[in-house]
Amino acid sequence: MPLEAGLLQILACPACHSPLQDKSADETAPELICTGQDCGLAYPVRDGIPVLLVDEARRPA
């Protein structure tokens, strides 16, 4: 399920306030990836709703 157009533009990483990148190539586990160079947290998207919680984010390897 694609995110609503424009929604991504108003979303920001809660940890560092960088823009988020939609990475839905894997449709089973869409994620929003923080574009912050020192951050890079990956936030899950559940039922089309981004979960922008640092506690829920997947940390980069």
Minimum gap (Å) between residue 10 Cβ and Zn ion:
15
Q: Contact at 8 Å (CB) between 20 and 12?
A: yes
d(CA 53, CA 16): 12
Measured from the CB atom, is 11 or 18 closer to Zn ion? 18
Measured from the CB atom, is 15 or 28 closer to Zn ion? 15
Where do contacts with Zn ion occur on this chain (CB under 5 A)? 13, 15-16, 18, 34, 36, 39
Is the torsion defined by CA of 39, 45, 50, 52 positive or negative?
negative
Measured from the CB atom, is 36 or 44 closer to Zn ion? 36
